[in-house]
Amino acid sequence: MSTPYRAGAFRLSPEDYRALTDAAQANPEAYWQDQGKRLDWIKAPSNAQDTGTGWFSDGTLNASFNCLDRHLKTRADQTALIWQAEEAEHIIRLTYRDLHERVCRLANVLRDHGIRRGDRVAVHLPTVIEGVVSMLACARLGAIHVVLFGGFSPEAIADRLADSGASLVITANVGRRGAKRIPFKTTMDSALSLRPDSLSVKHVLVVSVTDEPVPMQAGRDDMLNPLLASASASCPIETMASTDPLFLLYTSGSTGKPKGIVHGTGGYLTWASYTHELVFDHQAGDVFWCTADIGWITGHTYVVYGPLSNGGTVLLFEGMPSHPKPGRWWDVIQAHKVTTFYTSPTAIRALMREGNDVPREYDLTSLRVLGTVGEPISQEAWSWFDDVIGGGRCAFVDTWWQTESGGILISPVPGAVKEKPASATLPLPGVNPILVDDKGHPLEGATEGVLCIDGSWPGRALTIWNDDALFETTYLRPYPGHYFTGDGARRDEDGYYWITGRVDDVINVSGHRIGSAEIEDALAAEHAIVESAAIGIPHDLKGQGIVVYAVARDPSHPDLEMLAVRAIAAKVGRYAVPEKVYIVPDLPKTRSGKNVRRLMRKIACGETDGLGDLSTLADPEIVEVLIAIVQG
Ligand code: ATP
Ligand code: MG
């Protein structure tokens, strides 16, 4: 076990954390007004808190200005963005001046194509600089960006284009993956031809990632590069109200149909800046690498808006973790002296499988802060990441948050909040989590319950696109007065939070409430099991019974089921022993790498007729494989 943190290496101390928390508690209005000052406002807000009209409601500002223009006085020549291609020798470095110029050019092209404030612009790109540039160009004009994950199918794209009413799309001819080419433009063409009557797309701008030609539709499609070359390198900013939408983004769809979450400008950007600085201990000279695709909220807040509003240096990596050989990510960290590395438990599980010798070949001593997001992380994966990658020297931030929250809500603060492996630990100053019982009564002390947030915070989403009523019923109505997260959590005697999974995934066996994460944690400690998911299914006697899907390191291992049962009995308890353990080749995952339990539950219950929307799955074929295994 490593030391929890190196005293002195980080900006904040435990006393600082307490002082901030107390200040936020004592006078929230003053605290948030103060935090709002991290931004440059055109008209400074006279109030901070949301009293029904939104955060910083009478303030005006521009997000693109805050991420670019305001840095030009002090750090025009500092690197804003490092783009690392798959090939080690291919690197592009953009200073704040360069990035500002690129954003202005693209904003002018968008304006020439009729884009005005409030219009929706869809961005569908591989990991290229133009992704970041497109977001900031939209923000400059007050247009609302809708970033679509690059791996979406034509159906998934068409759904989101129709729902958002996007009038312009920015895509690429292709994406690169080793020698392979990913057909971005033709995928978009298919999406656009699927149900043309429900789409409003008038223009498609195409980034040339390679010189491969692609079919172009005259009058609709334009290659972007020539237009950028002839566009002006300066572009005025649009003055936006704090509560004007900055972007809309669809949730990853782990629990059902993705929701178009709308984020505002002033509150969201304050939150992005505040949380990026606090949680990642942002310091001058840091090289910040968040491996999330910009198609997810993590990419929005911690590739673009957080680090750039704070004047940081961001790394974008085009390639994959283990291509052309295992260790590629570690090579990138070494080459760019990455200080802050933020990724997902799912990626760590995959990298762990490659063993310890691979990372040991690289110098990873530049790292100061390691972070994860997206799912509970097992104690085993936590310790591996901390020890083998962090060398036991780094702060480890297990960050809990959601698309709807805009940024991190519960997480350690380096140097200030002592970690416990696999706990998201304590709320950030100013965030007030509470645990409630099924009836909504707040629970005190060390306990377990439904995780809600009391009151609001600047980063909270404004609404669901086109569906204010759904926003109310999903988040505000279930436990009146509180924001309902959909997640369950346990609070220990130190007040630390341990996320137990979605409330729907808390399994109640004969009155024992068991978080799916507890069972999965027990199995993760077994070397023979790579990954697992525990699901509750109806049971005549016990109320609910448990079914486990497990991926084996070596499927020919003779006693995997017995091994799993013993591990659960020993680590959780006999009452948590599953009815059935299915050994499967893989689990159904969203494209962001999250397990889709809703499907595993339906398959375990034999309800295979109405499996619902499969468009968010990374590999839809796994569904048939699971059905075959379960039905024996
Ligand atoms: P949908 O809302 O469409 O079902 P989703 O909830 O997977 O999709 P996201 O907003 O990307 O979409 O994910 C947020 C959820 O991810 C959280 O509500 C929580 O369940 C899980 N999560 C995020 N970070 C953590 C973490 N550090 N520990 C445990 N769970 C986490
Ligand atoms: Mg969700």
Residue 493, amino acid: E
Q: Is the pLDDT of residue 1 over 70?
A: no
**Which residue, by CA, sits nearest to atom 7 of ligand 1?**
254
**Which residue, by CA, sits nearest to atom 15 of ligand 1?**
402
Q: Is the pLDDT of residue 256 over 80?
A: no
* Ligand 1 atom with least separation from CA of 377: 28
pLDDT of 572 reads 86
For 6-33, write each residue's pLDDT tens digit: 445 899 999 999 999 999 999 999 999 9
Assess contact for 363 and 333: CB atoms under 8 A. Answer: no
**Which residue, by CA, sits nearest to atom 27 of ligand 1?**
400
pLDDT of 3 reads 41
For 98-116, write each residue's pLDDT tens digit: 999 999 999 999 999 999 9
* Ligand 1 atom with least separation from CA of 250: 3
Phi, psi of 397 (to 5 degrees): -110, 105
Structure tokens at 215: 């079919």
The C-alpha atoms of residue 572 and residue 592 are separated, in whole angstroms, by 29
Looking only at the bridges linking them, the beta strands covering 497-502 and 543-552 are: unpaired
Output the CA–CA distances (angstroms, integers) from residue 90 to 85, 87, 150, 172, 335, in the order listed. 5, 6, 22, 19, 12
For 44-79, write each residue's pLDDT tens digit: 999 999 999 999 999 999 999 999 999 999 999 999
* Ligand 1 atom with least separation from CA of 261: 10
Distance 420 CA to ligand 2 centre (A): 25
**Which residue, by CA, sits nearest to atom 1 of ligand 1?**
253
Q: Per-residue confidence at 253, pLDDT binned at 50, 70, 90?
A: confident
- Report, in this order, helix, strand and coil percent for the chain, each rounded to 5: 35, 25, 45
**Which residue, by CA, sits nearest to atom 31 of ligand 1?**
375
Q: What is the DSSP letter of 69?
A: G
* Ligand 1 atom with least separation from CA of 403: 10
Q: Is the pLDDT of residue 4 over 50?
A: no
Distance 590 CA to ligand 1 centre (A): 11
510 phi-psi bin (left φ>0, alpha ψ -120 to 50, beta other)? left
Give the residue, out of 403, 595, 601, with the most ligand 1 atoms within 8 A of its beta carbon, to mutate for a pocket test: 403
Distance 332 CA to ligand 2 centre (A): 31
pLDDT of 5 reads 47
pLDDT more than 90, % of the chain: 82
Nearest Cα residue to 584 out of 542, 508, 523? 523
Q: What is the mean pLDDT of residues 286-312?
A: 97
Output the CA–CA distances (angstroms, integers) from residue 108 to 104, 145, 481, in the order listed. 6, 16, 44
The C-alpha atoms of residue 377 and residue 390 are separated, in whole angstroms, by 16
Rg (CA), the chain: 24
Nearest Cα residue to 595 out of 625, 617, 567? 617
pLDDT of 503 reads 86
Distance 588 CA to ligand 2 centre (A): 17
pLDDT more than 70, % of the chain: 99
Using alpha carbons only, give the angle 299, 161, 613 rounded to the nearest 5 degrees. Answer: 80
Which stretch, 269-278, 349-358, 534-543, has highest mean pLDDT?
269-278
Question: Which helix (H) or strand (E) element contains residue 512?
Answer: strand 512-515
Measured from the alpha carbon of residue 490, the closest ligand is 1
Assess contact for 418 and 428: CB atoms under 8 A. Answer: no
Using alpha carbons only, give the angle 471, 472, 477 rounded to the nearest 5 degrees. Answer: 135
Output the CA–CA distances (angstroms, integers) from residue 601 to 163, 505, 549, in the order listed. 28, 10, 10
pLDDT of 507 reads 87
Residue of higher predicted confidence among 573 and 189: 189
Distance 424 CA to ligand 1 centre (A): 13
Structure tokens at 318: 């085009």
Nearest Cα residue to 509 out of 438, 563, 577, 569? 577
Q: Per-residue confidence at 82, pLDDT binned at 50, 70, 90?
A: very high
The C-alpha atoms of residue 258 and residue 212 are separated, in whole angstroms, by 33
Give the residue, out of 294, 302, 346, 401, with the most ligand 1 atoms within 8 A of its beta carbon, to mutate for a pocket test: 401
Distance 586 CA to ligand 2 centre (A): 22
* Ligand 1 atom with least separation from CA of 499: 29
Q: Can you name the residues that pair with 144 across neighbouring β-strands?
A: 120
For 331-348, write each residue's pLDDT tens digit: 999 999 999 999 999 899
Q: Compute CA 279 distance to the chain's CA centroid, rounded to the nearest angstrom.
A: 15
pLDDT of 302 reads 98
Distance 490 CA to ligand 1 centre (A): 16
Output the CA–CA distances (angstroms, integers) from residue 335 to 177, 339, 354, 388, in the order listed. 20, 11, 21, 18
Distance 442 CA to ligand 2 centre (A): 22
For 207-239, write each residue's pLDDT tens digit: 999 999 999 999 999 999 999 999 999 999 999
Distance 485 CA to ligand 1 centre (A): 9
Provide the whole-model pTM: 0.92
Phi, psi of 45 (to 5 degrees): -70, 145
Assess contact for 313 and 95: CB atoms under 8 A. Answer: no
Calculate the average pLDDT of the chain: 94
* Ligand 1 atom with least separation from CA of 372: 27
Nearest Cα residue to 552 out of 629, 632, 474, 464? 629
The C-alpha atoms of residue 162 and residue 487 are separated, in whole angstroms, by 29
* Ligand 1 atom with least separation from CA of 297: 11
Measured from the alpha carbon of residue 253, the closest ligand is 1
Measured from the alpha carbon of residue 488, the closest ligand is 1
Nearest Cα residue to 268 out of 305, 310, 238, 307? 305
Q: Is the pLDDT of residue 178 over 90?
A: no
Measured from the alpha carbon of residue 485, the closest ligand is 1
Phi, psi of 485 (to 5 degrees): -90, -20
Identify the burial level of 190 via C-beta atoms within 10 angstroms of its C-beta, where 0-12 means exposed, 13-18 middle and 19 or more buried.
middle
Nearest Cα residue to 271 out of 431, 423, 133, 136? 431
Q: Per-residue confidence at 2, pLDDT binned at 50, 70, 90?
A: very low
Q: What is the mean pLDDT of residues 549-568?
A: 92
Measured from the alpha carbon of residue 343, the closest ligand is 1
Q: Can you name the residues that pair with 400 across neighbouring β-strands?
A: 410
First vs last C-alpha separation in the chain: 43
Boundaries of every domain in the chain: 506-631
**Which residue, by CA, sits nearest to atom 3 of ligand 1?**
253
Assess contact for 99 and 82: CB atoms under 8 A. Answer: no
Distance 403 CA to ligand 2 centre (A): 7
Instruction: Give the start-end residues of each E strand in 12-105.
Output: 60-61, 79-84, 91-95
Structure tokens at 322: 């283990």
CATH topology of domain 506-631: GMP Synthetase; Chain A, domain 3 (3.30.300)
**Which residue, by CA, sits nearest to atom 6 of ligand 1?**
254
pLDDT of 129 reads 98
Q: Is the pLDDT of residue 257 over 90?
A: no
The C-alpha atoms of residue 314 and residue 334 are separated, in whole angstroms, by 15
Pure H helices in 455-556? 468-471, 516-524
* Ligand 1 atom with least separation from CA of 594: 7
Pocket of ligand 1 (CB under 6 A): 251-256, 258-259, 297, 373-376, 398-403, 424, 485-487, 499, 502, 594
Assess contact for 247 and 119: CB atoms under 8 A. Answer: no
Give the residue, out of 159, 160, 254, 349, with the most ligand 1 atoms within 8 A of its beta carbon, to mutate for a pocket test: 254
What was the ipTM of the complex prediction? Answer: 0.99
